[in-house]
Amino acid sequence: MASAERIIKDLLKEANVKVGGKRPQDLVVHDKRFYRRALRDQVLGVGESYMDGWWDAKHLDVLMSRIIAADLGSKVKASPKILLAGASAKLLNKQNLKRAAKNAQHHYGMGNDLYEVMLDKRMIYSCGYWKGTRSLDKAQEQKLDLICRKLELDKGMKVLDIGCGWGGFLEYAAKKYGIRGVGVTPVGEQVEVAKKRVKNLNVKIIQDDYRNVTGKYDRIVSIGSFEHIGHKNHKKFFEVCDRLLKPGGMMLHHFIGGNTDSFKPDPWINKYIFPNGSIPSLKQVSKAIEGKFLIEDLHNFGPDYDKTLMAWHKNFSKGYKKLNQNYDERFYRMWSFYLLMCAAGFRQRDLQLWQFVMRRIEPAETYRGVR
């Protein structure tokens, strides 16, 4: 039987990757235990061994792009541990009311200083819109304005932001379009910053789960939060939106999507980055809205997330030494692996970024999409 080292090296050859090579996609192995760990635990083992310093690559994003393009993950038999985790994610609701806040806190509550270093000036933690610009700040501003124009915002409209983050969208929409806003997030660290950001605006920030929101709204927006809803709650999410949206209102959902139905998260991402998240397919979303809403506009600008993630990684790498001592070397390698692996996923079109504009199934004027 071939050794783990030989199997992994042969697989890497299929992706035109060489161990010990000098090209951008090549890697160097510092600890030969990497091979067995990678073969046994697949992406979980690859990611954890990178965190532990067992291997390196000159350009990790290029390496991961090659691996994704060659679909190497499907060519290795999953371990019982990974199969069990996948079955659990499919069968159980791991984003129920009790678990959802804890899941969100794991990622978004790890420290505002990290996000201040990594993100743009408004702290927008979702894909930018890079049309005609090379600036992260400008790309995020263009994305916010695109959303406002797609929703046809007007002065005095009441807007709900589900998963409002650090308040950047509501601040922008209130200042430029004169809306009244309500933002909801379960993360206290985000609430603290968001309240300061919108202090002198007609905007209210609430720390709670989206399922507990009350009131009626002219517009609903969700920017990068749908991935955390969990596949068991897709239908419930849109039932909540139906309850909160006024007749004639509109919604915009901006989220990461996959090319096929998925009920289980990436094992490494699930353990270290986004616990119990899920990446829905178009079919899964369409099924969840069936009978309640119609899609007026569908916009995919997934390649822009590659640019966004690379800009975040550049900022993170540059500002890392400014962060407190809680972010050690292992964290640096973990966070780099997260950002660059995700960039590779969008680069290879394995991941998509969708914006849906939706309305109820009721008489309405023709919707004219904007870009």
Determine contact, residues 295/251, Cβ cutoff 8 Å.
no
Query: Encoding tokens for residue 224?
Result: 């990068």
**Residue 324 confidence (pLDDT) above 90:** no
Is 152 in contact with 248 (CB distance < 8 Å)?
no
What phi and psi, each to the nearest 5 degrees, are found at residue 253? -120, 120
Q: 232-255, pLDDT tens digit by residue? A: 899 999 999 999 999 999 999 999
Fold entry, domain 96-360 = Rossmann fold (3.40.50)
Quote the CA–CA distance of 350 and 306 in Å, as a whole number. 11
Q: pLDDT at position 110, please?
A: 87
Q: pLDDT tens digits for 274-297?
A: 998 889 999 999 999 999 999 999
Contact 132, 193 (CB under 8 A): no
- Arithmetic mean of pLDDT, 194-212: 97
Instruction: Give the active site residues.
Output: 342
**pLDDT tens track for 132-169:** 999 999 999 999 999 999 999 999 999 999 999 999 99
Q: Which residues pair with 183 in a beta bridge?
A: 161, 205
Phi–psi pair at 163, nearest 5 degrees: 80, 55
Q: At what angle do helices 188-197 and 168-177 cross, to 10 degrees?
A: 20
Least confident stretch, 45-54, 248-257, 323-332: 323-332
Structure tokens at 226: 């749908």
pTM: 0.94
Residue 124 · residue 144 · CB < 8 Å: yes
Sorted by where each begins, the domain ranges of the chain are: 4-77, 96-360
Q: Is the dihedral of CA 270, 273, 275, 279 positive or negative?
A: negative
Q: How confident is the model at residue 88 (pLDDT cuts 50, 70, 90)?
A: low
Tokens 């532990």 — which residue? 52
